[in-house]
A and B are shown apart, each in its own frame.
Chain A
C-alpha cells in the first residue's frame, strides 16, 4: 500500500541539547547525598542481621564505637579490638572518649548522646559487655546495636 511506501520527512534524531542538564541534575543529587567517610575502619565489620530496627533520629548526637577482629591481623593479632575515631583503644580509655564526644555537644544535649555500637558478628559478648560497663560509668546510656535489616518472614 502506498501508506507504507511513503517516506516521512520528520527527522528521527532525539534532541540531546538537554542531556547535559539532566546529567547535571543527577550529579548534583549524588554530590549532595554523598557523605565522605571520615574514619578509616580498621576492624572487620560484618554487622548482624535483625528485623526490629529503629532509625537514628539525630545524627549529630551519635558517636560510633567499632568492635571486631583487626583487618591487619598480622600486626594487631586476631583478638577483637575496640576502635574509636581512627585508633584502637583499650577498654579503660572509653570514658575519656565519651567525655571528649560530650564536650562537642551543647550542654543541654549532653545527656542525649547516643553510642552506636558497630560490632562484628564474630565477636563475643565479653568485650561488648566490658564496653557497656564503661559506658554506664561514663553516663552515656543510650546505645544502639547497629545492625542490618533482615527480611521479615
Chain B
C-alpha cells in the first residue's frame, strides 16, 4: 500500500544541540549580573521655611568633625589626616569612649561583651571624645570641589566603624553583620540587639555654596 511506503515524518534533531548552544552563548554574553549594592543613607527631612534651623546644643566633644576640602585633603578633629583608612579606628574609639556616660550610656556599657569593655578601658575615657554612644555624632562636611571618590571612601570608613561595633556586640564581624537577613526572625533579633541604643548618627553637612 502507498501508506506503508511513506517516509516517517521526523524532524532531524542532530543539530538541536548546536542551535541551543548558539542561543546559550547569546544569553551568556548579554547577561549582566545586576550589582545593586551601595552605601545606604537617609537624607535629613527638608527644612521648614517657617522655622529657623535648630540650634546645635550638643557638646563639642560629642561631635566628631570630618572636613574635606577641594584638594581632597582631610581635616579630622582639627588635625590634618592623610590616610583615610585610619578613620575607621578613630571613629570607633570616638563612639566607644564613654567619657561621662549618662543613664542610657551606663546601660549600654553594661550590655557590651567583655572584649569590648577591655577595649573601652584601654583606649577610651578621653576627655575630648564622646560622652557615650547615644550622644556621639559623626559630622562630615565636604566641599563642592571634593571628589566623589573621597566622599564615598570617608562614608565607607565611618560606616565600617559602626558596623564593627554593631557586629562585635553580637559576636560577628562587620561583613557578617551586614549580611544579616532581616526577614529571618532569628537574624532580625540579632540585628536589633546589635543596633539597640547606638544610633548610626552620621550627619552630612551641606557643602558651602561658593567653590572658588
Contact = CB atoms under 8 A, between A and B. Distances in A.
Contacts of A56: 36-38
Contacts of A122: 147-148
Given A116-B36, A125-B142, A145 B45 contact: no
Interface stretch (B24-32, B58-66, B102-110, B118-126): B24-32
A126 B210 CA distance: 10
Contacts of A135: 43
Interface stretch (B12-20, B74-82, B91-99, B127-135): B12-20
B39 interface: yes
Given A26-B24, A143-B41, A146-B36, A52 B156 contact: yes
Interface stretch (A27-35, A84-92, A98-106): A27-35
Majority-rule SS of B interface residues: mixed
Nearest to B207: A129
Given A24-B20, A51-B156, A136 B45 contact: yes
Interface in B41-58: 41-46
Majority-rule SS of A interface residues: mixed
A126 B31 CA distance: 34
Contacts of B9: none
Interface of B: 13, 16-17, 20-21, 23-24, 27-28, 30-46, 142-149, 151-153, 155-156, 159-160, 163, 174-175, 178, 206-207, 211
Contacts of A136: 43-46
Contact of A145 (B27, B28, B38): B38
Interface of A: 16, 19-20, 23-24, 26-27, 30-31, 33-37, 48, 50-56, 59, 62, 116-117, 119-126, 128-129, 132-133, 135-137, 139, 141-149, 152
Contacts of A149: 35, 37
Contact of B40 (A16, A54, A121, A152): A54
Given A121-B147, A125-B144, A126-B144, A147 B24 contact: no
Contacts of B44: 136, 141
A20 B17 contact: yes
A48 B148 contact: yes
A20 to B, nearest CB: 4
A146 B156 CA distance: 12
B39 A125 contact: no
B35 A148 contact: yes
Given A54-B37, A136-B45, 7 more contacts: A51-B156, A52-B156, A119-B148, A122-B147, A122-B148, A125-B148, A142-B43
B46 A125 contact: no
B15 to A, nearest CB: 10
Given A125-B151, A126-B207, A59 B146 contact: no
A31 B27 CA distance: 6
Nearest to B20: A23
A142 B40 contact: yes
27 contacts: A30-B24, A35-B32, A37-B32, A48-B153, A50-B38, A50-B152, A50-B155, A121-B147, A123-B147, A125-B143, A125-B145, A125-B146, A125-B148, A125-B151, A129-B207, A136-B44, A139-B45, A142-B41, A143-B42, A143-B43, A144-B39, A144-B41, A145-B38, A145-B41, A145-B152, A146-B37, A149-B35
Given A23-B20, A136-B45, A53 B148 contact: no
Contact of B145 (A33, A120, A126, A146): A126
